[in-house]
Amino acid sequence: MELDELYQTIILDHSRRPRNFGELPAPALRGAGYNPSCGDEVVVFVARSPEGKIEQAKFVGQACAICMASTSLMTTRLKGKTAAEALSLKRVFVDFLTKDAPPPPDELGNLQALAGVKKFPQRLKCATLGWHALQSALSGQER
């Protein structure tokens, strides 16, 4: 299977069957994101342990395939991470989509399926919206 084809399959799979789709009740943290240029809307929920590690991350929303897939993939990668580690992964991911330098592939894992966005900068907001909502949730200011 071609790499592009594999990436396409991952994106379709996660956009049609998003993982960790649903809400978490308070006191889970909550962060919302809206991308007016595409109409994507997501709300990310994060439950943390007393030690500050992410125990569960979920999301709800209505968004395009790229946004759904990126947010779904994101939620599968957060368990056990501190807020700092989660935000570090966000930076690596955004750098991967916006810079030419090759990232450490191990850290990104199947998030590399979003590589196609590099060719469509206008879709960058779609791919990063869930991550901005995550950052907003972790800042603890929305709830």
- Pick from 38, 41, 44: nearest CA to 19: 44
Question: Can residue 64 be called a binding residue for Zn ion (CB under 5 A)?
Answer: yes
How near is the Cβ of 37 to Zn ion at its closest, in Å? 8
For residue 34, give the 3-state DSSP assignment: strand
72 sits near Zn ion (criterion: CB under 5 A): no
First to last CA, the chain: 45
Binding flags for Zn ion, 13-42, as an x/- string (CB under 5 A) = -------------------------x-x--
- Shortest Å distance, C-beta 114 to Zn ion: 12
Interface contacts to Zn ion, rule CB under 5 A: 38, 40, 64, 67, 126
